[in-house]
Amino acid sequence: MTILKPTPEAVCDAASTLRDGGIVAFATETVYGLGCDTFNENAIEQVYSIKGRPLNNPMIAHILDVTWVSRLTDHWDDRCALLAMNFWPGALTLVLPRRDDVPASACGGYDTVGIRCPSHPVAVSLLEEFGRCISAPSANRSGRISPTCAEHVDDEFDGRITVLDGGACGHGIESTVLSLVSSPAVLRPGSISIEELEEYVGSVLHGDYQGQIDSPGTSSRHYAPNTSVKLCTHDEIENTVDQDCAAIVLKNIIAPSKQTKKMPPTPSEYATQLYAVLRELDTIGASKILVEKPPRTSEWLAVRDRLSRCSS
């Protein structure tokens, strides 16, 4: 077991592991991250290898506060400042042209870098103690469900990675990724909505995230449990569910199933629970997991995005 309470000593040890070119998993408010020194190419390579992540999928660099932005980009402008003022620390990643000294390998070979300033106290204390940018993808094997508690990380990597435990993640899904390389464009929806962003930067491009080329991590099969997932209407579930199927629903069903999880009615509470529920239902030997489609409204966009990926 390598799950550690984030005591000052544990955080100090984790920072020295990062300094020595090692890898440490840590809690953030979105999902757990698998962290390493952004400027250590050897450590970056190890993270890709441990995750089995395609080398062209860029990682997000985490910073303590806006004063660190200049270590990563020379392209901070008024739009960025306004967004940072309103959404940082928090679940927003900004993609900007990277400085030449930021390793291309940390950015999937791209000439841009994703930057996020997290709010979770464990992430904050690790950044404070380490004093350098931490590149961290979600702490799961590539293509699998992101971890929302320390035990999930332990399961993913069979206890081989030290995890700074910060409890269950408040958001439960990953940050919103916004490119500001030219006109604002959402590359991955997340808990900060497009409408919220538009209040500050005007119209934001977004669209078909399946096969999105500007953000390789948003390839269509992602966030997937081993058990196959099928998106259905409530009636379809009621009519097709059987004793072998698991179900994730918004309204109760009457038909018997192997196990049914009723989810909270709001998108933010739903998101907080989604990955843990998928992981749990993946362990019960169900033939498939039937998931009731959430409403097609914009507030459900990020949840619908994750569900459609894990069912594709």
Q: Which long-range contacts (CB under 8 A, 24 or more apart) does 260-263 make?
A: none
What binding mask, one character per residue, do residues 54-73 give for ligand TXA by CB under 6 A, x or -?
---xxxx-------------
Residue 260: name its binding partner from ligand TXA, Mg ion, none (Cβ under 5 to 8 Å by kind): none
Does residue 71 come out as left (phi exceeding 0), alpha (psi in the -120 to 50 range) or beta? alpha
- The footprint of ligand TXA on residues 226-265 (CB under 6 A) is none
Query: Is 148 among the residues that bind ligand TXA (CB under 6 A)?
Result: no
Residue 166: name its binding partner from Mg ion, ligand TXA, none (Cβ under 5 to 8 Å by kind): none
Residue 303: name its binding partner from Mg ion, ligand TXA, none (Cβ under 5 to 8 Å by kind): none
DSSP 243: T
Cis peptide preceding 89, ω within 30 of 0: yes
Q: How far is the CB of 108 from ligand TXA (least distance, A)?
A: 7
**What is the bridge-based pairing of β-strands 33-37 and 24-26?**
antiparallel
Query: Is 38 among the residues that bind ligand TXA (CB under 6 A)?
Result: no
Q: How far apart are the first and last CA of the chain?
A: 34
Residue 107: name its binding partner from ligand TXA, Mg ion, none (Cβ under 5 to 8 Å by kind): ligand TXA
What binding mask, one character per residue, do residues 153-192 give for ligand TXA by CB under 6 A, x or -?
---------------------xx-x---------xx----
Query: Is 274 among the residues that bind ligand TXA (CB under 6 A)?
Result: no
- The footprint of ligand TXA on residues 107-126 (CB under 6 A) is 107, 110, 112-114, 116
Query: Is 138 among the residues that bind ligand TXA (CB under 6 A)?
Result: yes
Q: How far is CA 142 from CA 53, 80, 137, 219, 236, in A?
A: 5, 30, 10, 11, 31
Instruction: Report which residue type is found at 239.
Output: N
Query: Is 217 among the residues that bind ligand TXA (CB under 6 A)?
Result: yes
Strand order in the sheet with 24-26: 3-4, 163-164, 24-26, 33-37, 134-135, 60-62, 112-116, 92-97, 176-179, 185-188
Among the listed ranges 37-45, 136-144, 152-160, 253-261, the one in contact with ligand TXA (CB under 6 A) is 136-144
- In sign, the C-alpha dihedral spanning 158, 162, 167, 168 is negative
